Amino acid sequence: MVLLLSKNAKDLLEKIHDSSLYLKVISFVQGLIDKNQLEPTEIQEKVLVNHLIEMVGRAKNGTALEEVDPVIFSNVSNSSLELADKVVKYIEKNIGKLSESEKYVLSIHFENMIIN
């Protein structure tokens, strides 16, 4: 699969010394986006890629995102939460542990793609 990253997303990745690990995560997410027939805008893609880069960094360094109240995300669809959960589990399996908050914050990216 060829990643169809915008110039902005490519620019973000070029700033990382060894981007292969990040590209694997982005490729996994691209597969989920394609499978679910989502079409992110260029801005949505840039924000998502930036978030994924930060998530990988947190998993590598063992740092945690601040705790969020899941009630705040009660209007997020189950499909968006499930997609986000798959990404979190993929990163945990291949890189390192993430906080439960990651799933909720990441789900907003998928929800915005579904809405648009």
Helices (H), the chain: 7-14, 20-35, 42-61, 78-94, 101-115
pLDDT at residue 20, as a whole number:
77
Q: Span 28-51, mean pLDDT?
A: 91
Q: Does pLDDT of 70 surpass 80?
A: yes
For the segment 24-37, the average pLDDT, to the nearest whole number, is 93
Give per-residue pLDDT as tens, 81-114.
999 999 999 999 999 999 999 999 999 999 999 9
Banded pLDDT at 22 (limits 50, 70, 90)? confident
What is the rounded average pLDDT of the residues 54-63?
Answer: 93
Q: What is the pTM of this model?
A: 0.86
Q: Is 14 exposed, middle or buried (0-12, 13-18, 19+ CB in 10 A)?
A: exposed
Q: CA geometry: angle at 79 spanning 78 and 81, to 5°?
A: 65
Q: Is the pLDDT of residue 75 over 50?
A: yes
Tokens of 49: 């890629």
Residues 6+ apart with CB under 8 A from 87: 25, 28, 29, 32, 52, 55, 106
Nearest Cα to 30, choosing from 90, 97, 75?
A: 90
Instruction: Report whether pLDDT(65) > 70.
Output: yes
Q: How far is residue 55 from each of residues 79, 102, 115, measured CA to CA in Å?
A: 20, 8, 23
